[in-house]
Amino acid sequence: MRRLVITGMGAICALGHDAPSTWKAMAEGRSGIGPIHHILPGQLRNGGIAAEVNDFDPANYFDESRLNQLDPVSQYALVAAREAIRQSGLTFEGERAARTAVVVGTGVGGETTRDDQYEKLYGEHAGRFHPLGIIRMMMNAPASQISMVHGITGPAFALASACSSSNHAFAQAAMMIRAGLVDAAVVGGTEACITLGTLRAWEAMRVLAPDTCRPFSSGRRGIVLGEGAGMFVLETLEQAQARGANILAELTGTGMSSDAGDIAAPSELGAATAIANALRDAEMSPSEVDYVNAHGTGTIANDSTETRAIHRVFGEHARALAISSTKPMHGHALGAAGALEMIAVIGALRDGIVPPTLGYLGPDPACDLDYVPNEARQMPVHAAISNSFAFGGLNAVVAVRRMP
């Protein structure tokens, strides 16, 4: 089987506009959650907090002719992809352009454009829609824009499985490379969901926290939305070594499952099956795993269910695991969540620092494992998994290992 390695990563989120600053904030336990700047006070019932991308001027990254085509969901993807490709040193001339894929996960796509245009259409009775509205809103826009900017002519497409979108993108890219269809992929996730319409819809589900996100903690009250993108260059070990690339980590396996149960309530068995499938695909025993980047949304149901799933798969080793959720720092970025969390996993592998679970007030009897509360921990991390469990019962887990 072809071995797969990550040779480039890029990020933009509430913690920073690149991967190094994002990881530095994670390792230091700094939160990007705060008041929402572009929504008026009183428009939201839950206090109006999120993990926004702040101080971002797209004109510094894109010329006017291209910017007119780009919803923020594509802007973020392009910024992160540019960084990842630059770090990898991969170029796309000749056959390599056709032997590279682009796979991008997103939960809601061009929501900013959709929200703005619908407000004009229904609220202001505008006579016409933005002429580029469709190409800004469509779910595949980020993948298409990346392929066009970088001249990548291999398979390029979007994946939408709510909060598991990024990890499903990793799985799809890995399968294509292993099958020999391509030799590399630009892969990750992007989301720009901090809009009034999206937030009001989440409010209606009564899962938004009014103060902050507190995964696995007593007193947790729900999720806090975030936005941004994480993008990576995934390629064969053989190709990476042949061109002298700096290898960040080895992607050893992926696991997927479907609960086939409730549309919103998580399943212990479904989550455990995805974790076990990832370990099996990676040919990794549970005892080899040092760190779990948990889905850890901060809801009562998710965190207790994920804890039981970890117990089910890891047995006694579950109590030796360092487990953390980084969502109290970058927010729950829906389709981009797994991609931003991969920044944390690679940082833990490379620097021996496990980022903390912020906002932890004390143990909950239903969550009885080591969640690295409030402060980062220095420890060697040789292997890790990253969990994503989505509405619709769609689960995807990625396993990675530190390269010697």
pTM of the model: 0.97
Please give, one letter per residue, the 3-state secondary structure of 87-130.
HHCCCCCCHHHHCEEEEEECCCCCHHHHHHHHHHHHHCCCCCCC
Does residue 249 lie within any of the structural domains? no
Alpha carbon distances (Å) from 76 to 115, 135, 228, 229: 18, 16, 6, 6
Query: pLDDT by residue (tens digit) across 313-348?
Result: 999 999 999 999 999 999 999 999 999 999 999 999
Q: Check residue 245 and give its pLDDT.
A: 98
The residues annotated as belonging to the active site are 163, 295, 332
Q: Any idea what DSSP says for residue 334?
A: G
Residues 213 and 262 in one domain: no
Residues 163 and 193 in one domain: yes
Classify residue 188 as left (phi > 0), alpha (psi -120 to 50) or beta: left
List beta partners, residue 353: 378
Does residue 141 lie within any of the structural domains? yes
What are the two backbone dihedrals, phi and then psi, of residue 35, each rounded to the nearest 5 degrees? -60, 145
DSSP 202-257: HHHTT-B-SS---TTBTT---B-BB-EEEEEEEEEHHHHHHTTPPP-EEEEEEEEE
For 242, residues 6+ apart whose C-beta sits below 8 A from its C-beta are: none
Give the tokens for residue 98: 């056709």
Query: pLDDT by residue (tens digit) across 51-110?
Result: 999 999 999 999 998 999 999 999 999 999 999 999 999 999 999 999 999 999 999 999
Residues 218 and 270 in one domain: no
Mean pLDDT score of the chain: 97
Give the tokens for residue 194: 């901090």
Nearest to 181 by CA among 170, 172, 189: 172
If you compute the radius of gyration of the chain from its CA atoms, what whole number of angstroms results?
A: 20
List beta partners, residue 386: 293, 398
Residues 125 and 259 in one domain: no
Query: Which of 26-35, 123-132, 144-153, 245-254 has the lowest average pLDDT?
Result: 123-132
Neighbouring CB atoms inside 10 A of 60's CB total: 8
Rounded to whole angstroms, the Cα distance separating 71 from 13 reads: 15
Q: Select from 210, 242, 274 the last residue of a domain.
A: 242
Residues 294 and 209 in one domain: no
Give the tokens for residue 325: 């959720």
Three-state DSSP state, 373: strand
Q: Check residue 91 and give its pLDDT.
A: 97
Query: pLDDT by residue (tens digit) across 357-385?
Result: 999 999 999 999 999 999 999 999 999 99
Q: Looking at this protein, which amino acid is placed at residue 329?
A: M
Rounded to whole angstroms, the Cα distance separating 139 from 75 reads: 13
How many structural domains are present in the chain?
Answer: 2
Residues 294 and 229 in one domain: no
CATH number, position 128: 3.40.47.10
Residues 141 and 282 in one domain: no
- 289, 321 Cβ separation under 8 angstroms: yes
Residues 265 and 213 in one domain: no
Q: Check residue 14 and give its pLDDT.
A: 98
Query: C-alpha angle with apex 74: 355 to 61, nearest 5 degrees?
Result: 85
Q: Which domain range does residue 351 map to?
A: 254-401
Residues 357 and 328 in one domain: yes
In 233-333, where does DSSP find H-type helix?
237-242, 268-282, 300-314, 327-330
Rounded to whole angstroms, the Cα distance separating 273 from 397 reads: 10
Residues 198 and 292 in one domain: no
Rounded to whole angstroms, the Cα distance separating 372 from 366 reads: 16
Rounded to whole angstroms, the Cα distance separating 174 from 187 reads: 10
